[in-house]
A and B are shown apart, each in its own frame.
Chain A
Amino acid sequence: MKLLEVRDLTTAFMTGRGEVNAIEEVSFSLEEGQILGIVGESGSGKSVTALTVMGLLPRPPARIAAGQVLFGGRDLTKLSEREMQAVRGPGISMIFQEPMTSLNPVFSIGDQIMETIAAHERLPQAELRRRAIAMLDKVGIPSAARRLDDYPHQMSGGQRQRVMIAMALACNPKLLIADEPTTALDVTIQAQILDLLMDLRDEFGMGIVIITHNMGVIAETADRVMVMYAGRVIEEAPVATIFDRPLHPYTRGLLECVPSLTEDRARLVAIPGTLPEPARRPPGCRFAPRCLHAEPACGTAIPLLETLEPAHSAACFRARELASP
């Protein structure tokens, strides 16, 4: 059973220079209990994809121009705001990049966890409190009962992200979207948070979408990986395949940017150039201007995502040819 299926999703933003597509024809799906990693540079459309699924983009200026988000047999793009409120929390919930600013500074963490549960279930105060303590306990906050009345500023970044996770999982969601959950944290804390997410996945069986620009995070957690570039999905495969046999030149470039302890590389290879602004994207393949293998054809038409190997698809005209040794 597919937990989430996104089909040809296109989200446009109204800007000073007219309407611009932030993401285009994004398609992916996720099974129950699976972890999907979405990788890409800042501005590649990862977060817009997540926020579109959650229905959290302000409309206007955002607009879902095309596509469907199928979740639990319903197309979320067709739901009213009130119906979406019922989905957020028990259906899909989300944690964010900045644990320092994602919690409301003037309410205690207990209050913020309890109101999440109270928004979706009618429970007496004592039961809300018990559930909140249990959740804090589960995400590894020591002496949870005593910390329930603490305020966010009394906690460290790692603890706050744990609180965010407790809040996101308080209503037992079927899907958790984690948008750069570890980017703002110390390296040692990063590993703890990722371990925690995987443990909780095993315990609750929810699907997870992890959004990151860090290939290390992907390697550690994801079952499948989707690579995005300039608003489009350019490659998708099981995690081992991506690292072993990347098909898209951009994915290969990304992997070469990862420093290695085992190989003796004098310099890290960087991808030349920068991500094009959404309003100034090239006409053909979005990556063509930065691609070492670009041909004239790449500049005229947009390559579509194509299944090239079992469970492995890429959007590149030359993928097959470049992959063969």
Chain B
Amino acid sequence: MAGVAFRRLLSAIPVLLIVSLISFGLMRLIPGDPAAAIAGIAATPAQIEQLRRDLGLDQPVWMQLLHYYEGLLRGDLGRSLLLGKGVFAATMERLPVTIGLSLYALVFTLLIGIASGIVAALRQNSWIDQAAMMFAMIGISVPNFFLGLLMIILFAVHLGWLPSGGYVPFSEDPFGWLASTTMPAFSLALLQAGLLARITRSSMLEVLRQDYIRTARAKGLPGRRVILKHALANALIPIVTVVGIIVSLLLSGAVVTEALFSIPGMGQLLTQAVLNRDYPMVQGGLLLVTTFLVLVNITVDVLYAVLDPRVRYE
């Protein structure tokens, strides 16, 4: 299993290289001048030119790229042009907020998606199945910002149960954190939960038809054990793949959700950075987010090996 993890870690290096190159190139391809953005409307052309020289933006692009990689090798992601602090420090303030929100949404996704998928598969074609799949379809079709708005109207405006926005760090007040993130997490989760419910249902239906399920029943095992042990252990293998993808979708979906609920997460940080042409912040932030996603994917690969002995002994 450690071997699997190590090989995946090695193969992550080219991925990170390519992502760093793309983020560097894209930022320089889009029009706009960070120096002008920082200096403000009132600045004279000379001041802007001076600032550009200070930031090293007057150098040729290939020189800038070299400096960037040289910094990366030293473990230095550079300083944000706008915030006046290190990119790494700025990211570490915001990334945990987004990851926390995404993981909370993942808990909703897994609970709703897997449970309703299993129940739908066990009662195939019954009204429960049809109701579950209809809700899954609604979940997939309704954009999460729209669902978020509806939830704000109902739970914040009319019922007043939850705050309509804002963020309380978990370390300060766990219950405050729950209150401030439950609506965002749920609205973020519902789309993915619908997706997962459908995948779980079809995966379960496929597994329930297998010969080894009949064997398990022929041994006199109780029905619950046949489903929760023999069927689920096999059905989980395709589900894990999808969950890996879902985590990355939750992270990118969080950008919109954060804006809607005014949560100071990665989405806000990167949106501001892009709008102000904060080159180092965008490059470094994307690289760190990518690193997190690569780690998620490695976890998925290791989970395969945990779940499936055929992978483990390959």
Contact = CB atoms under 8 A, between A and B. Distances in A.
Interface of A: 54, 56, 81-82, 84-90, 93-94, 96, 98, 101-108, 115-116, 119-120, 151, 153-154, 164, 167-168, 171
Interface stretch (B3-11, B128-136, B214-222): B214-222
Interface of B: 210-212, 214-223, 225, 229-230, 233-234, 237, 307-310, 313
19 contacts: A54-B218, A56-B214, A56-B218, A81-B223, A85-B220, A86-B220, A88-B217, A88-B219, A104-B212, A104-B216, A104-B233, A104-B234, A105-B234, A106-B307, A106-B309, A115-B225, A116-B221, A119-B222, A167-B219
A116 B310 contact: no
A85 B222 CA distance: 7
A94 B212 CA distance: 12
A37 B196 CA distance: 47
Nearest to A93: B218
Nearest to A118: B221
B210 A101 contact: yes
B215 A164 contact: yes
B234 A85 contact: no
Nearest to B207: A104
Contacts of B221: 85, 115-116, 119
B65 to A, nearest CB: 48
Contacts, number: 85
Nearest to B210: A101
Contact of B219 (A105, A108, A116, A153): A116
A151 B211 contact: no
Given A56-B217, A88-B219, A164-B215, 11 more contacts: A85-B222, A89-B220, A96-B214, A104-B216, A104-B230, A105-B308, A106-B308, A115-B219, A119-B221, A153-B313, A168-B218
A93 B216 CA distance: 11
Given A153-B310, A154-B313, A103 B215 contact: yes
Nearest to A170: B219
Nearest to A149: B309
B214 A105 contact: no
A120 B220 contact: yes
Contact of B211 (A87, A88, A98, A154): A98
A166 to B, nearest CB: 12
A101 B211 contact: yes
